[in-house]
Amino acid sequence: MEQSLNPAWVPAQPVASDTTRRLGIPSYVYAVVFSSFCVMTGIIWDICWHQSIGRDGLFSPPHILVYVGAVVAGLFSGFQVLRTTFAGSDTQKSQSVRIWGFFYSSLGAIFCIWGAIAMLTSAPFDDWWHNTYGLDVTILSPPHTVLALGIIGVQFGAMVTVLALRNQTKLYTHFTANERANRDTRIYWMFALSAGFLLSMWFTLLSEQMDKWNSHHSSYYQFACAAFPIFLLAFGRAIPNRWTITASTGVYMAMLCITLWIIPLFPAEPKLGPILYHIDHYQGFAFPLLLIVPALAMDWLLMRYPKMNDWLLALVMGVTFFAIFFVVQWYFGAFQMESPYARNWFFGSHYWYFGNDPNWEYRYKFGPWSLQSTPDLLQGLGIALVLSIVSSRIGLAWGNWMNKIQR
């Protein structure tokens, strides 16, 4: 796919209806953020469906919700591309990325369109996979991998779209101070929502490696330190000095908690044998990682040292994330596994797959395979610390790029 940028970037003249009614925020921006929410809710519901009912069909309710998210993102973004291409002014086209030498699109719309195509393509592939090989035993089966890449494309497209609007604001002079503040606040929260939904998807992909049974094994912290600082610091640098990391992780926690608390309220029963654990309601997915605790410290450091060299800042952030996350999650993981106070609707540690023996010896305690000797644990944690620093440096570089997006 050939892409080219027009050399001159000139802010478009305000459109009265958009400016007065939506502070210059086009409707498709709201649409792609909404689609990201639909997709993430549908994915968590689908996991609970597999855990509680078993086999699902091509048009099961969770799948339909995911398809709705894909269609909304694809249609609204596609319409935006067509409108800019065929009815846009020269100044509007100058703000766009040129595709295939003909179409004009924002960068975010490109991600959303291709993500939606991948998601919808994965649907018949997933149905064929189930009919051929049966129920999935892992989250990342081949059709689910295609779906996950599409979802990440849509969610990242939503983030990029919001960031482009934010970075264009300073080029507009027709806003009053109050309108500019309202616009900035709305864009900030749309970004936090988009980032939080992306973080939720990222955790979902890693959930098999980061379940509570592994929380006293160094591999748990290696996955976390490699996977999360890169996103958290990218968010923090994309919109600096605004507690962005904390807001994004707050959305992530709210997404996981609300689905954990609401979905099990509805009746469900297994439809696929063997049934070893008889249930009559949905089983919940997972309580979120306590990422919001290191997020608070990372936000404070970004605001306290805004001019620190990125290499030194990556070292500080990597150590900070590793140390705080390890201490918090080590003890919280023990609470989730062993405490009877975690076996309730709030923490959800009692939810169980219907095909597993409910009397399994290690249902509520760590198995010997998930524990390490002190030397092995320390060695593994040392690797996690290095991964955290490397991930932090990549995240800062990624965030610097996102902070400059204007198309």
pTM of the model: 0.85
Residue 70, pLDDT score: 85
pLDDT tens digits, 44-97: 998 899 889 887 777 788 889 988 888 888 888 888 778 878 776 676 666 667
pLDDT tens digits, 182-214: 877 888 888 899 899 999 989 998 888 888 999
Residue 281 has pLDDT above 70, yes or no: yes
Residue 335 has pLDDT above 80, yes or no: yes
pLDDT tens digits, 237-280: 988 878 999 999 999 999 999 999 999 999 999 887 788 889 99
Residue 19, pLDDT score: 40
Residue 12 has pLDDT above 50, yes or no: no
Three-state secondary structure string covering the chain = CCEEECCCCCCCCCCHHHHHHHCCCCHHHHHHHHHHHHHHHHHHHHHHHHHHCCCCCCCCHHHHHHHHHHHHHHHHHHHHHHHHHHHCCHHHHHCCEEECCCEEECHHHHHHHHHHHHHHHHHHHHHHHHHHHCCCCCCCCHHHHHHHHHHHHHHHHHHHHHHHHHHHHHHCCCCCHHHHHHHHHHHHHHHHHHHHHHHHHHHHHHCCCCCHHHCCCHHHHHHHHHHCHHHHHHHHHHCCCCCHHHHHHHHHHHHHHHHHHHHHHCECCCCCCCCCCCCCECCCCCCCCCCHHHHHHHHHHHHHCCCCCHHHHHHHHHHHHHHHHHHHHHHHHHHHHHCHHHCCCCCCCCCCCCCCCCCCCCCCCCCHHHCCCHHHHHHHHHHHHHHHHHHHHHHHHHHHHHCCCCC
